[in-house]
Structure 1
């Protein structure tokens, strides 16, 4: 990934009146500071002595100038995509509240209850069925009933002991608290506060709950409980797993991003500038740490500390970066999402699979082990163009994109994607954008654009370098393409996306 990803600009630092967070970043202080990038273009240098107070923030941290978008269509706002089903087959109690089963006992699980509440709220929006709204309210009321009031804020406790076995040092004894739950609660309470189907007094109750929960994100790690901290680079973290010793929390990426969605929801509800400043800091951290999150041409990492690649969270990262782009990260975050998708695209081709086209010639097929080593190789000879079915389009570790064949002489083996020799019919891995993204057509270069179904083709060229808007990106018949404002698709290999 080149240096164009993220934002190239002078870095700004946000700060507040609360005491500095332990020993981490002690040279920065608690007031807003201003600095510039280091000479190598990496992390910002320690800022100069000029200070500007920003009252209310827990500590100084890097901000790059991201703002909460105010014109986001409802469909692109947080927690709209996944809808609860009426029948709940997962653990729940007699009140319909989501529970967590551990050692034969049911426990309250704040993140589980928050997310289930939001899935029910999405179902209510889509159907108008009051059943889903009532079940959403049940989750919110359980959170309120179990809240712990400390440091002038509401916290939502996990009562059970917890250990993350794959990550050394992540071990808690109940009750413990999570920045993911604190941030996500802002989405649940904030969205309920705007539901017209609820009485005004009840909406006000949830608005007050959102404000009380937001206050927890204005408390640093100079006292307990805490979920917000600044690292040694001056970056703000919303910690899913906050560990007391400075620098020992594992900086979990998905929890940080989910909490950032809550900051957007809270700003959308209240207009609170501190929510926007924290949102700015959260996105600035992701931009600065992207290459650490990323496993180039492989799975992204679950957290910064342990750098464990994780298939179950990679697509979550792709989706969250895309959504944060809609909410304020802009084209820069869309590029981050695209990069992760290219590193490791969603493997499954669905229940129906796909069709792979083979050009005449000799094609190598493989059986790989889990580390990308070749167990065996064979050759498939094609006399005339032919097609075979496939169930997966996936990255093989240390190698390119491959198709897992499910028919023909190569059945059960992988073949590498290589347009025009071997390619997958149809449109896959499609992403849409609301940001102002552009494709640069180089001067004098003829680019063959096409309709999605391939029936229309048109050679496009410009006398001068020309930027053309695009609103979607996908793998179309084996090539990464973007959809132009004309509706035609153009191959990315011949273009420069979002050129300065």
Structure 2
């Protein structure tokens, strides 16, 4: 096999001991991630079962035309911790459920054209979260494509929820018409009909967002807004009778239960499902300015902030729920949903705490795969240690193999060089490593450590709204970087201030193997500084 290492074009005035072309020109530059990725499948931990004979689901009559709810409640029946989290408006692209991947026009549709859940036997089931998320994704697709097929589908999926509603305890509920048990999380054993706080919250988003579309009629708008009011009423129902999904725990924190189980203390306390539901409260508050919706939003964010240490699993995949706290059983995909959800919580609340928490989750366990084309790892001149780990054949993590170290190898290069890589990920119990993808060292891993070995380019870019603040410490020289792309060179500056000096920053990205912050105003606008060289948010 050929040697994958190539020498860069020599250049004068090295930067951090590296050729300038290697240190300052970025062969890859990704754009900031602005929205959530594909939605998780709510039933992935189990499979539907036909309910027992005689099961009755008390569907309301079809043909709702509005105002089924006599009057919205004006007080909450429970108290819970709050912290004054606001619900700010944000640019269109940063609002919940915008710019999602285009939904496929081929799905498991029923005869009415509504997406259904298909079980292992081929039977189709109504699935509220699946259908509501399909509707929201169709709306997002319509906004970007203006293809009327998507708007029609969004309305069709909203209508299915209206037609399949159950009216109990003065509110609308969206029933799951099958029995279901989670195969990993003990205690989640449901008999039809059962209900989910995730579905209730996401339905708020679907009805409100449809009502906001300029293309719908005034009559449709009234129906959707009345539907949202009827769903919002379910947030006022406690866990003292069925159905329910709101719970205040023993410490006084409010929870929206994706999987509400009696007795209430045995519920899953699922993080991602609660946050998806909170986005519905944000949508509803921004539309109605209802102060109780704002209080529920505030209480929910207070809960998520308080229990972040229970969600986070330092230097590894975050925990799925507060009850079972099992990261590997459900795979790392939920970790990345957490990352993106905390990004949106920071935008929608304007609170830096959620931005910092997002940063920690990214640092704990970031995206494993690069791109189909891979990436380029730069090596400084000198001796490096390569590693073999016990992984799956593609380098991904195996719970049974647990990334055990199998071998090491020393290699020495007389000059800075580079090699192709197919993967960047954290090795269990270790740091972040790159997997070399071709040549004599294919399959070997090298640890990330700038400027000794690093992935060239800009990766994992995130944007902050509002902009955050970094602080240069007094009387300490720091280097800031202006990067070039496509082979063009960049530049550096050395700065030193006689007193602590603040600057705003609007982006964070991994550039050449380091977490870098982009300054967004002042004489250093556009320059990047290593996060380790500054303080952030006054901390």
TM-score using structure 1 length: 0.87
User: 2:490 maps to which residue?
Assistant: 455
2:410 aligned to which of 367, 372, 379: 379
**What SS class does the counterpart of residue 118 from structure 1 fall into?**
helix
529, 533, 537: which one aligns with 1:490: 529
Q: Name the SS for the 2:462 alignment partner.
A: strand
CA offsets per residue over residues 332-354 of structure 1, 9 Å max, x none? 11111111000001111111111
What is the rounded CA distance, in whole Å, between the counterparts of 1:81 and 1:346 in structure 2? 20
Aligned to 1:63: 82
Moved over 3 A (4+): none
**1:120 touches 1:132 (CA, 8 Å); kept in 2?**
yes
2:187 touches 2:266 (CA, 8 Å); kept in 1?
yes
User: Any residues of structure 2 matched to 1:176-215 within 5 Å, and which?
Assistant: 176-215=194-233
One of 107, 118, 124 as aligned partner of 1:101? 118
Cα distance in structure 1, aligned partners of 2:317 and 2:388: 20
Q: CA deviation at 1:329?
A: 4.8
- 1:126 is displaced (CA, Å) by 1.1
1:340 counterpart = 2:361: yes
Stretches of structure 1 that go unaligned for 5 or more consecutive residues are 1-53
| Residue 364 of structure 1, aligned match among 379, 382, 385 | 385
Counterpart in the other structure of 2:310: 292
- Counterpart for residue 412 of structure 1: 443
Deviations 1:412-466 (A, max 9, x none): 1211001111011000111001123011100112211111326121112211101
Shift of 1:372: 3.0
Residue pair 2:258, 2:270 contacting (<8 A) in 1 also: yes
Pick closer, same or farther for the CA change 1:92–1:58 going to 2, 3 Å: farther
Q: In the aligned structure 2, how far is the partner of 1:376 from the partner of 1:260? A: 47
Match of 1:169 among 175, 178, 187: 187
Superposition deviation, residue 317 in structure 1: 0.2
Structure 1 Cα separation of the partners of residues 131 and 95 of structure 2 = 20
Displacement of 1:96 in angstroms is: 2.5
DSSP-derived class of the 1:393 partner? strand
d(CA) in 1 for partners of 2:304 and 2:266?
18
Paired residues of 1:83 and 1:123 also in contact (CA < 8 A): yes
* Aligned-pair CA distance for 1:269: 1.2
* Change over 3 Å in CA distance of 1:81–1:281 after alignment to 2: same
- Give the 3 Å change call, closer, same or farther, for CA 150–477 of structure 1 in structure 2: same
RMSD: 1.3
Q: Paired residue for 1:12?
A: none
Question: What is the CA–CA distance in structure 1 between the aligned matches of 2:104 and 2:277, rounded to whole Å?
Answer: 27
User: Aligned equivalents of 2:108 and 2:242: distance in 1?
Assistant: 31
Separation of aligned partners in 2, 1:404 and 1:157: 46
Structure 1 stretch displaced more, 97-106 or 396-405: 97-106
Shift of 1:86: 5.4
| 3-state SS of 2:96 partner | coil
Counterpart Cα distance in 2 of 1:149 and 1:363: 66
Q: 1:235 & 1:269 partners in 2: Cα distance?
A: 26
Alpha-carbon distance between aligned partners in 2 of 1:95 and 1:325, rounded to the nearest angstrom: 39
Name the structure 1 match of 2:470.
439
Matched, 1:283 2:283: no
Q: 2:109 aligns with which of 92, 103, 125?
A: 92
Uncovered stretches (5+) of structure 2, i.e. residues with no partner: 1-72, 391-400
Matched residue, 2:234: 216
Q: Within 1, Cα distance between the matches of 2:131 and 2:103?
A: 15
2: CA distance between counterparts of 1:191 and 1:313? 25
User: Which residue of 267, 285, 295 maps to 1:249?
Assistant: 267
Task: Please say if 1:320 is aligned against 2:341.
Answer: yes
Residue 393 of structure 1 corresponds to 424
Secondary structure (helix, strand or coil) at the match of 1:357 reads strand
Contact 2:85 2:298 in 1 (8 A): yes
> In structure 1, what is the Cα distance between the partners aligned to 2:104 and 2:300?
35
Q: How does 1:8-23 map to 2 (within 5 A)?
A: none
Q: Deviations over 1:320-373 (max 9, x none)?
A: 011011111521111111110000011111111110001122212122234232
Q: SS where residue 433 of structure 1 aligns?
A: strand
Q: Which residue of 1 aligns with 2:55?
A: none
Q: Which residue is equivalent to 1:44?
A: none
Rounded to whole Å, the distance in 2 between the matches of 1:69 and 1:121 is 22
Matched length: 445
Give matches, 1:74-153, under 5 Å. 74-85=92-103, 87-88=105-106, 90-102=107-119, 103-153=121-171
User: What is the alpha-carbon distance in structure 2 between the residues aligned to residue 389 and residue 95 of structure 1?
Assistant: 50
Shift of 1:122: 0.6
**TM norm structure 2:** 0.81
